[in-house]
A and B are shown apart, each in its own frame.
Chain A
Amino acid sequence: DAGVTQSPTHLIKTRGQHVTLRCSPISGHKSVSWYQQVLGQGPQFIFQYYEKEERGRGNFPDRFSARQFPNYSSELNVNALLLGDSALYLCASRFGPADTQYFGPGTRLTVL
């Protein structure tokens, strides 16, 4: 069975630009969460979506937004990129909001 997939694998942007990251959950999973992992730290929770509704939000600025589509895939959008947004962005999916999460390989974003 296919696991969580994310695209693109790598991305390079400049300060002030906008970026969209994509995630496809494991088949049958209805909940998606996004995490940011900067170098040397553990992943930090950004958003959770379940059945297309936001179910949780971490301590991130309004420049970060996300949505979930009817097929349960999800997009993470970041506006007005800063150098500090350079990180590995991880998507995790689960069947229901309280179930075990399974992570994708991540998207490596570099902001120059």
Chain B
Amino acid sequence: SQKIEQNSEALNIQEGKTATLTCNYTNYSPAYLQWYRQDPGRGPVFLLLIRENEKEKRKERLKVTFDTTLKQSLFHITASQPADSATYLCALDISGYSTLTFGKGTMLLVSP
């Protein structure tokens, strides 16, 4: 069955360091992959979309890579800040209907 896997353990890092989150998927070849941020009790907020023919995409302090051979995306936050603390979700269209299936998310905690 299709699966989207994100590390369920929280990632704790110090302010100023680079946070790297992983999203692995199996049994599918998505045309694109998306990353979202979710704060407690709120809806997810769209951050970035990367297409299968793009190796890397950047937006301010965010960088996403997409390796379709490894079936993996890495999400980096450089110069992390306590305000970056949140749960980060990756999402793929694995249905073929242009709907998103979400990973369960990884919580990032940035300490001062």
Are the chains A and B members of one assembly? no
Partner-B contacts on A (CB < 8 A): none
Partner-A contacts on B (CB < 8 A): none
